[in-house]
Amino acid sequence: MNVLVVLIPVSLGLGLLALVGFMWTLKADQYSDIEGDAMRILEDDDIAPEDRERR
């Protein structure tokens, strides 16, 4: 039972920390261009331009 005295505040603190982190990402506009990020990850920048023509 004494363990609950420690675990409940720790879990509430971690939940609050996660909420603060999420609010920070919202305020920093991390989710403003979701479609652009989805398309940008599909681009293949590792291949040189002359090699792209051969494909």
Label residue 53 by pLDDT band (50, 70, 90).
low
> What pLDDT shows up at residue 49?
63
pLDDT value, residue 39: 82
The total number of structural domains in the chain stands at 1
* pLDDT computed for residue 46 by the predictor: 67
Looking at per-residue pLDDT, the higher value among 3 and 38 belongs to 3
Give tens-digit pLDDT for 8-48: 999 999 999 999 999 999 999 888 887 887 787 787 666 66
| 3-class secondary-structure state, position 43 | coil
Q: Which domain holds residue 12?
A: 2-54
Identify the residue whose tokens are 């999420």: 22
3-state SS class at 48: coil
